[in-house]
């Protein structure tokens, strides 16, 4: 007899069922993109209003990204402990509340604190949204669905760029840029309350009756043929070991590394290297272009082009992810994105060539990031999926959180743009090589049956699959 999670993962795709989860989750992700992208537009405007130095301007993005790092850790753990549904709504509400207060900030110092707190809420959106969308998606479409989730990212970044670009010439300021983002986020909070809890999560936490109710409803609404299934019993030790607060977060970190050290190492290496390059460009591109003599409208508009072209990148990732697999897409697109940014720094003297390379970078960056997110979310079992993804995301946010500050005060002025971007490209290449030899391909496999030694064979097996740690903690 099959299990309930196998039934869910073999259901036909219906836009009114799984598609609804995808849209609602994706809209939250869109606000994450909008907010992060807004840092690049806020930096020069806040610098002018409050008379900030280059290093101080870097703190605008740093405060927000460090808050997201804290949020990714906290909410990934909370989602694995108290459920996806609660975390799904609360994260967005926290973000909206502190963003509204941020728009009313009387000083730069208060603004930094409120941007940090808004980041704590928003940092939970990505791990929670990807966990719940992946657990509702059929395995045959899961790669495309999770890659398509990142289609909301360039939509959000483009909206940030369009609103910023149009507000500048009509006398708009950074306060209105924040306010325009928050209003639709508040509306989405109310919509999210109607999303059901993940049936895989319910089954893994011993809530069998609730899990069956959700699964039976999905079978009925998708038109699938009903069949008997079982909900495996929960291991008593796992249910009894749940901890709270900061202890729970670090307990989840221990479990994430104990589950498979090599896979977790690959996840962290990919997230940190790829996102360092992306956030460096996103946070500083308007300032780089203004330093080259472009006006505010032209600089903001060129950055918006980078974000808009990313939509084509996401479409490309959706088309390729189930054809060539996750590892091939990441292995090719990640180095190409980093190289495009390096070439951009070498042709800055020509505005046409520079803008063209910005577009190339935006394309390849949004090919690799959707597939990377899908890949990492699939590598972990249900009981560790949100926290495994959350810790990888938080590590990238923690490192990239300091990138705007270090980039503006050390890397750009001392090393120069070409050498800075060349070093970043080398780091990306190292992470891709590590992935190639250390982690399995996930295309077409059932969730929770990907990295175990019984499923991973041959060249795809991680080096640690034979070790006692691999699969030792799956409760």
Query: What does 240-272 look like in DSSP terms, one character per residue?
Result: HT---HHHHHHHHHHHHHHH-HHHHHHHHHHHH
Sequential pLDDT tens for the chain (475 residues)? 889 989 998 999 999 999 999 998 888 778 777 887 788 778 878 888 888 887 787 787 778 878 887 887 777 777 777 777 778 778 878 888 898 899 899 998 999 999 999 888 887 777 777 778 888 999 888 878 877 887 787 888 888 888 887 887 655 578 888 888 777 777 677 777 778 888 988 988 888 999 999 999 999 999 999 999 999 887 654 444 445 555 666 777 888 898 899 999 999 999 999 988 888 787 777 777 777 766 666 667 777 777 788 889 989 998 998 888 899 999 999 999 999 999 998 998 888 888 899 899 999 999 999 899 889 888 888 778 877 887 887 788 778 767 766 776 677 777 778 898 899 899 999 999 999 998 888 887 776 666 653 333 333 333 333 332 323 222 2
Specify the CATH class of 4-460 in words: mainly alpha
Residue 220 to residue 208: CA distance in whole angstroms: 18
Calculate the CA 26 to chain-centre distance. 11
Residue 242 to residue 220: CA distance in whole angstroms: 34
Query: What does the block give as tokens for 186?
Result: 């508040």
pLDDT of the residue at 158: 82
Q: Give helix then strand counts, H and E, for the chain.
A: 19, 0
Q: What are the beta bridge partners of residue 230?
A: 3
Residue 373 to residue 375: CA distance in whole angstroms: 5
Residue 293 to residue 287: CA distance in whole angstroms: 10
CB 200 within 8 A of CB 5: yes
Query: What does the block give as tokens for 143?
Result: 């790669």
Q: What global pTM score does this model have?
A: 0.68
Domain spans, the chain:
4-460
Helix (H/G/I), strand (E/B), else coil: 196 = coil
């Amino acid at each position: 007899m099959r299990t309930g999670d196998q039934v869910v993962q073999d259901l036909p795709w219906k836009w009114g069922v799984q598609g609804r989860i995808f849209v609602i989750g994706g809209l939250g992700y869109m606000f994450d993109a909008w907010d992060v992208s807004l840092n690049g537009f806020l930096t020069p405007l806040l610098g002018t209003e409050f008379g900030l130095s280059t290093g101080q301007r870097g703190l605008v993005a740093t405060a927000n990204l460090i808050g997201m790092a804290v949020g990714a850790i906290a909410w990934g753990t909370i989602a694995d402990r108290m459920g996806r549904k609660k975390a799904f709504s609360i994260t967005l509400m926290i973000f909206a509340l502190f963003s509204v207060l941020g728009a009313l900030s009387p000083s730069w110092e208060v603004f930094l604190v409120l941007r940090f707190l808004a980041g704590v809420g928003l940092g939970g959106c990505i791990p929670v949204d990807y966990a719940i969308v992946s657990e509702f998606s059929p395995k045959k479409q899961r790669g495309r669905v999770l890659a398509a989730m990142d289609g909301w990212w360039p939509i959000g970044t483009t909206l940030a760029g369009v609103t910023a670009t149009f507000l500048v010439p009509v006398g708009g300021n950074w306060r209105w840029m924040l306010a325009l983002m928050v209003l639709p986020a508040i509306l989405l909070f109310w919509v999210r309350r109607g999303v059901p809890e993940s049936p895989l999560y319910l089954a893994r936490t011993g809530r069998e009756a609730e899990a069956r109710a959700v699964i039976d409803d999905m079978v009925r609404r998708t038109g699938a043929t009903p069949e008997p299934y079982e909900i495996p019993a929960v291991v008593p030790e796992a249910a009894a070991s749940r901890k709270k607060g900061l202890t729970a977060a670090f307990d989840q970190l221990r479990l994430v590394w104990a589950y498979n050290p090599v896979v977790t190492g690959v996840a962290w290496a990919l997230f940190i290297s790829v996102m360092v390059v992306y956030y460096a460009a996103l946070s500083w591109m308007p300032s780089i272009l203004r330093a080259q003599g472009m006006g505010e409208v032209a600089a903001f508009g060129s950055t918006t082009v980078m974000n808009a072209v990313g939509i084509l990148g996401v479409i490309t990732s959706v088309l390729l992810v189930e054809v060539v697999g996750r590892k091939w897409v990441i292995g090719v697109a990640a180095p190409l994105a980093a190289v495009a940014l390096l070439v951009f720094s070498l042709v800055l003297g020509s505005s046409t060539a520079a803008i063209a390379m910005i577009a190339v970078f935006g394309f390849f960056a949004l090919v690799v990031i959707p597939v990377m997110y899908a890949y990492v979310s699939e590598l972990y079992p249900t009981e560790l999926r949100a926290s495994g993804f959350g810790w990888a995301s938080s590590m990238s946010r923690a490192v990239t959180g300091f990138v705007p500050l270090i980039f503006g005060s050390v890397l750009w002025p001392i090393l120069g743009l070409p050498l800075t971007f060349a070093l970043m490209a080398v780091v990306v290449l190292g992470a891709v090589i590590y992935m190639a030899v250390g982690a399995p391909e996930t295309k077409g496999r059932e969730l929770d049956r990907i990295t175990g030694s019984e499923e991973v064979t041959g060249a795809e097996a991680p080096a640690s699959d034979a070790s006692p740690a691999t699969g030792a903690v799956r409760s």
